[in-house]
Amino acid sequence: MAPAMLSRRMFVGTGAACLAMRGEAATGSLLPAAQIKPDREVMVPVQGGRVYVRINGDVGNGRPPIVFLHGGPGSAHWYFLNATALANDRAVILYDQLDSGRSDHPGDPANWTVARFVSELDAIRTALGVKRWHVLGASWGGTVALEYAALRPPALASVILQSPLVSTEIWLRDAKRLKDAMPAPIRKLLYECDTQGAHSQAECNAATDAFYNRHVHLMDPPPAIAAYKAALPRSFSADVYNHLWGRAEFTASGVLKDYDGRPLLGKLDGRRTLFVAGEHDEAIPATVDGFAKSVPGATFREIPHAAHTIMNDNPAAFLAVLRPWLAAHD
C-alpha cells in the first residue's frame, strides 16, 4: 500500500515454509542512547477514542521536539524506539494511531479516514503543550505527514517523509517491478496468490514474507525491542490494514486503492521538507527522489543497508541524517 505503512504485515509470518525461503536473518542493533522505557506516557483524546503517546526528553527544553508517525496502516510505534537516542538533543514523541498498539481500539471503520488520522497530530501537540515540532512519517505515516504538511501549519518546523505512500498507482507500479525481480518460484506464488484459493495461506504467507525480507526489513529487531513489541496489546492491526490497504504491500483493494497525494507536493514548503528512502526500500529510492525533485527546495537522502523499515535496519545512519537536519531547521 504505501511506503508509509511500516510493513503492512510488519514482521508477521513465520513457519517452516517462510524460514526456508527467507533463511536466517541478522539481528539489528539497539543504539547505546536509545531508551526502551518512556519518560512520560499519556492517553490523548481524539475523534473516536484515545491514542497512546510516549515521550522521552523534555518538550520544554527550547528545541522543537520530533514526533514519529508509524506505518501500516495498523502497525505501532515500537520500531521507532531507536529514535529515542535523539532525546539527549530534543524530546522524542512516539504514538500509536487509533486502533493500533496501545491506543483505544473501537474497531469502527468510520474512524479509518485519512483526514481523521491527520487530526490526531494537532490533538497530540495541543495536549502536550508543544508550540513547534518536527514531524516524521514513515510509509503510511508518510501519507499522514504529507497531508498535514500540505496544510502549512504554523507549528511545523520541518517534515520528514520517509518511504512515503504518495500515490497508490506509483506504489503498485514499483511493487510490480520489485516483485518481478524476485526468484522465479517466489514470483510465481506472489502472482498466483492474488487469486483466492490458488494456494494455501501458508504458501502465500511464505512468498509474501520472502518479498518483505528483501524490501521491507533486512534485520530482525534487537532483543530489547522485540520484547517491547511482544508486550504490546497489538503490534499489528490487520483490520485497519485490510480496510485501508488490502492483502499485502503489492495488492491494493481498500480505501487507499485510488489514493493520489501528488497534488499536495506543490503545497509543501520545500526548504523544510526532507524525503528519505532505504537503499533496498519497497519505496524505490529513485521514485522518492523524484517526488523530492518535484518540490522546489526539497532534499532527498538515501540510507544505505536499509529497506523500508529504516530505523530498524540502519538506525545509526538514519540518525546521522536526522540530527543535522533537525538542528538546521529548528
Catalytically active residues are 139, 281, 308
Residue 19: other Cβ atoms inside 10 A: 14
Sign of CA dihedral 308, 211, 265, 45: negative
156 near 141, Cβ under 8 Å? Answer: no
Please report the DSSP string for 235-277 in residue order: S--HHHHHHHT-SBTTB--SGGGG-B-HHHHTTS-GGGEEEEE
Q: Which whole-number Å values give the CA distances from 9 to 72, 230, 315, in the listed order?
A: 7, 15, 21
Assess contact for 64 and 133: CB atoms under 8 A.
Answer: yes
Radius of gyration of the chain (CA): 18
Query: Is 149 in contact with 121 (CB distance < 8 Å)?
Result: no
